[in-house]
Amino acid sequence: MSETEGKAPDLQAALAAWREAVGEAHVVVDPEALEAARTATFATTQTIPAIVRPADTAQVQACLRIASAHRVPVYPVSAGRNWGYGSRVPPGDGSVLLDLGRMNRVVAYDEQLAYITVEPGVTFRQAAAYLRERQSSNFITTIGGSPDASLVGNALERGDGRGPHADIFQHVCALEAVLPTGERIETGHARFPDSRAAPVFRWGLGPVLDGLFSQSSLGVVTRMTFWLARKQPWLREFVCAVNDDAQLWTFVDRLQALALDGTLKGSFFFWNDIKAYSVTQQFPYAAVGRTPLPDWAREKFREGFGRWAISGTLTAPDAEFGALLEKRLARALEGAFRPLSFGPEVLDGEGGFQGVPSEANLAMTYWRKRTPQPEDPNPDRDRCGFIWCCVAVPFTGQDAKRATDIADRVPRLFGFEPNLALLAFSPRCVYLITALAYDRDAKGEDTRAQACYRALTRELADAGYHLTRAGLQAQGAVPAVRDDSTAVRRRLKDAFDPQGILAPGRSEP
Ligand SMILES: Cc1cc2nc3c(=O)[nH]c(=O)nc-3n(C[C@H](O)[C@H](O)[C@H](O)COP(=O)(O)OP(=O)(O)OC[C@H]3O[C@@H](n4cnc5c(N)ncnc54)[C@H](O)[C@@H]3O)c2cc1C
């Protein structure tokens, strides 16, 4: 029997030890800060007794040893802007927040080999500024979420971005992770002393452990290397709109072929009218009176837009090559309701698709609010209701239609507008991303949104389309599996975290 087995959690002893380990100022018990930390973009009940802010890997090791010794659960966040998936709120009640925001150093950067190694607190804004200052020819993928979200938190959740590295976790390596026992491990070749290839060679020697730390509660990641994408000498954004659903699914098939043959190299999007509406303006209460948006108002907005927009980028080594790609794309999208058009040519430039983060999409979270979006958007603080549901769908028109029909129908049954996008991040698979946007101050909407999420994920799962990310809203909503993986994952968890102190209650193992 281990020393701690059977011992009751002792928060006060843990707090005293953490103060010793990270300094008094970095153990926060201020009620206002704790109240803010337990607030998400949907209803939660979890309480947070303290926030602990380590400064480096050694302090993370000390913090986890203390948590294990006193059996006090902890929940790590890198930037804590996991909006739409639970924000900073831990899955279990009474977990102390391990806030890694102070660990915000860029540890290594190589222009020629195109990589950057960062600590967990480094944000998209910070990384973009770092590369700009160095006049880098490379860029880090940006996301639609907050520029102040972290590279590491996003990658660990297997986030999605814009450009050729849209599947973000595919482009990382050399993780450093601290286990709940306090042990430190590095993945790939990084575990060998002075390994020259650690930041550029993903697999290392032996089993590949990187995935164990993604969407899991097996360790706290304290360092990670991101591979950068090279800015393209020639880039053009494109957009067209479709009004006829049958045509949309034909276009899905045609663009899949262009993704497979390399004409389309970066991510691209199919997004519906509601999504477009909610990014550009708030719910038209003055004209419509009450939610949900009636069909006549939706159609009025759609007049100039179409039911679906298709947008993305073409990139090429030069304008001549680019012109050929334009022709191929134009042929594939011939007959669109709003014909294909191109933005200005971007030569060796930046932009949303080549590394400049933007807050523009956060407007979506204020869609149903009756007050305007403030200068410094923070949907947790402003009681915006917002829940993401993201499922994986084979990249065919037939599957896209089957899954989208469900996501278009279910939110309406619960009084929400279907806010939908298909994100093409690979030639084989797309994400169908549904956003439930509502006002947490409107009576009953928190409860209704949660019920809607459950109905939506159940119907999608029954049709064969499963979640890619299980945020806090997914607790109890992930379907049973058909193999032995639950028991095997449980054994892994017990081996890595014998005291069960890291993110207990997360929807896994
Ligand atoms: C309008 C809008 C648009 C969005 N668009 C996108 C998008 O395009 N792509 C996308 O991917 N997401 C998007 N999001 C979702 C979300 O904002 C991002 O995924 C964001 O990157 C997550 O926040 P974070 O980096 O602050 O992560 P955190 O909140 O720090 O962490 C996220 C999760 O990872 C775990 N974790 C964090 N750090 C560590 C660590 N060091 N070790 C172990 N576990 C850790 C946490 O426990 C938590 O479960 C969007 C959200 C909104 C509201």
Among 68-82, 387-401, 474-488, the range scoring the smallest mean pLDDT is: 474-488
Average pLDDT of span 323-348: 92
CA torsion 35-40-44-47 (nearest 10°) is -30
Alpha carbon of 77 to ligand 1 centroid (Å) = 9
Q: What is the pLDDT of residue 351?
A: 61
Check pLDDT > 60 for residue 2.
no
Residue 233 token pair:
């000498």
**In sequence order, which residues have a C-beta less than 8 Å from that of residue 447 and are 6 or more positions away?**
43
Max distance between CA atoms of the chain, in angstroms, equals 72
Q: Rounded distance, CA 58 to CA 21, Å?
A: 9
Residue nearest to atom 2 of ligand 1 (CA): 145
CB 212 less than 6 A from any atom of ligand 1: no
Smallest Cα–Cα separation from 330: which of 258, 403, 397, 392?
Answer: 258
- Which CATH code, of 3.40.630.30, 3.40.50.1370, 3.40.462.10, 3.20.20.70, is assigned to 234-474? 3.40.462.10
Check pLDDT > 80 for residue 184.
yes
Alpha carbon of 84 to ligand 1 centroid (Å) = 9
Alpha helix ranges (H) inside 97-244: 124-133, 151-156
pLDDT tens digits, one per residue of 7-23: 789 999 999 999 999 99
Number of the ligand 1 atom closest to the C-alpha atom of 41: 53
pLDDT tens digits, one per residue of 427-469: 999 999 999 999 999 999 999 999 999 999 999 999 999 999 9
Number of the ligand 1 atom closest to the C-alpha atom of 219: 43
The segment(s) of the chain belonging to CATH 3.40.462.10 are: 234-474
Q: What is the pLDDT of residue 90?
A: 97
The segment(s) of the chain belonging to CATH 3.30.465.10 are: 106-230
Mutate to test the pocket of ligand 1, among 51, 78, 170, 216 (most ligand atoms within 8 A of CB): 78
pLDDT tens digits, one per residue of 84-115: 999 999 999 999 999 999 999 999 999 999 99
| Residue indicated by tokens 């294909």 | 340
Number of the ligand 1 atom closest to the C-alpha atom of 77: 30
Average pLDDT of span 55-81: 98
What CATH topology corresponds to 106-230?
3.30.465
Q: What is the pLDDT of residue 303?
A: 81
Q: Rounded distance, CA 320 to CA 377, Å?
A: 42
Alpha carbon of 82 to ligand 1 centroid (Å) = 4
CB 411 less than 6 A from any atom of ligand 1: no
CB 154 less than 6 A from any atom of ligand 1: yes
Task: Supply the DSSP symbol for 123.
Answer: B
Q: How many CB atoms lie within 10 A of CB 281?
A: 12
Alpha carbon of 362 to ligand 1 centroid (Å) = 14
Q: What is the pLDDT of residue 508?
A: 59
Check pLDDT > 50 for residue 349.
yes
Q: What is the pLDDT of residue 1?
A: 45
Alpha carbon of 154 to ligand 1 centroid (Å) = 4
Burial of 25 per CB tally in 10 Å (0-12, 13-18, 19+)? exposed
pLDDT tens digits, one per residue of 228-275: 999 999 999 999 999 999 999 999 999 999 999 999 999 999 999 999
Mutate to test the pocket of ligand 1, among 38, 52, 143, 384 (most ligand atoms within 8 A of CB): 143
Q: Are strands 51-52 and 96-99 parallel, antiparallel or unpaired?
A: parallel
Check pLDDT > 70 for residue 335.
yes
